[in-house]
């Protein structure tokens, strides 16, 4: 087995086992929903994640990842991302996609693009609604707006800045420091080119798909709130999104996590047990 495959397997085991150990199993079993309500929530949940899967599939479309493979990647990375605190799971997601397409920079860029479109849609919804409802602009909205502005500024100014700096440092004496700076610039240019490649001609599709995703997630929150006899309004949805972002306990978001971990954990166990049986049968035949 190649060394890089050993490292990949070790990283997978560490992240997956850590996530499995951190699952709040008590919370899963104490979800207070009837059988019918649970079925409705599961259907809504699966539809929501089908849309999210389609989005990352379109982002990585040109990488030609086998369909079954990208489904497995989505399931395990989403499970880890939801369970682990402080967005640590996003690092695993970047690593996993990067390893699969043999380009870690593309893996990082793919996840950043996904988050960028989330931020754009949320900014376009949260800020106007907050002002209209007289609730003001939330901390989350400000942070997302800053992220969107920085991303856009860097994206549209990078090429000109890169060309200027590249010419400037090439014109200087070729000292070791200059060569290091030029090497860093070239790596940043490589990341920039990959960002353009992954989002090329798909911006309208991705922004539309992301808007649908957040509409479905909002409906999911409304349905869950209704089942829990909670009064639902704009601020409840904002708090759900904000608490999810900052990792703060929230009864709605907690139930979302319980539902997500239960479904994905069952699927992950099924995938790996099936894989173990398949590999075992091959060895047995040998």
Residue 60 CA, distance from chain mean position: 13
Percent of the chain at pLDDT > 90 equals: 37
Token pair 């996609």 is at which residue? Answer: 97
Report the pLDDT value the prediction gives residue 281, as an integer from 0 to 100: 59
Separation of alpha carbons 92 and 95, rounded Å: 5
Q: What is the pLDDT of residues 74-119, one digit of tens each?
A: 999 999 998 887 778 899 999 999 999 988 888 999 999 999 999 9
Per the model's pLDDT, the better-predicted residue between 135 and 163 turns out to be 163
The DSSP code sequence of 208-250 is HHHHHHHHHHHHHHHHHHHHTT----HHHHHHHHHHHHHT---
DSSP-derived letter for residue 62 is G
Mean pLDDT of the chain: 86
């Amino acid at each position: 087995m190649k060394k890089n495959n050993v490292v990949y397997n070790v990283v997978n085991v560490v992240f997956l086992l850590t996530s499995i150990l951190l699952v709040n199993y008590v919370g899963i079993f104490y979800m207070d929903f009837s059988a019918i309500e649970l079925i409705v929530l599961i259907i809504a949940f699966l539809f929501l994640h089908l849309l999210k899967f389609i989005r990352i599939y379109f982002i990585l479309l040109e990488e030609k990842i086998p369909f079954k493979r990208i489904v497995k990647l989505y399931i395990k990375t989403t499970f880890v991302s939801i369970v682990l605190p402080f967005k640590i799971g996003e690092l695993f997601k970047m690593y996993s996609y990067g390893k699969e397409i043999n380009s870690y920079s593309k893996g990082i860029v793919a996840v950043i693009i996904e988050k960028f479109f989330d931020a754009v849609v949320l900014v376009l919804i949260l800020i106007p609604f907050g002002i209209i409802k007289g609730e003001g602009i939330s901390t989350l909205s400000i942070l997302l707006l800053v992220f969107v502005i920085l991303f856009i500024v860097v994206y549209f100014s990078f090429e000109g800045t890169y060309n200027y700096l590249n010419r400037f440092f090439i014109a200087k004496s070729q000292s070791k420091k200059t060569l290091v700076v030029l090497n860093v610039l070239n790596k940043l240019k490589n990341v920039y080119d990959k960002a353009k490649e992954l989002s090329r001609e798909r911006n309208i599709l991705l922004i539309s798909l992301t808007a649908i995703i957040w509409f479905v997630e909002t409906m999911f929150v409304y349905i869950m709130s209704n089942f829990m006899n909670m009064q639902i309004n704009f601020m409840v949805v904002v708090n759900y999104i904000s608490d999810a972002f900052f990792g703060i306990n929230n009864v709605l978001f907690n139930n979302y996590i319980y539902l997500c971990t239960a479904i994905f954990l069952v699927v992950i166990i099924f995938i790996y047990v099936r894989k173990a049986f398949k590999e075992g049968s091959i060895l047995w035949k040998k």
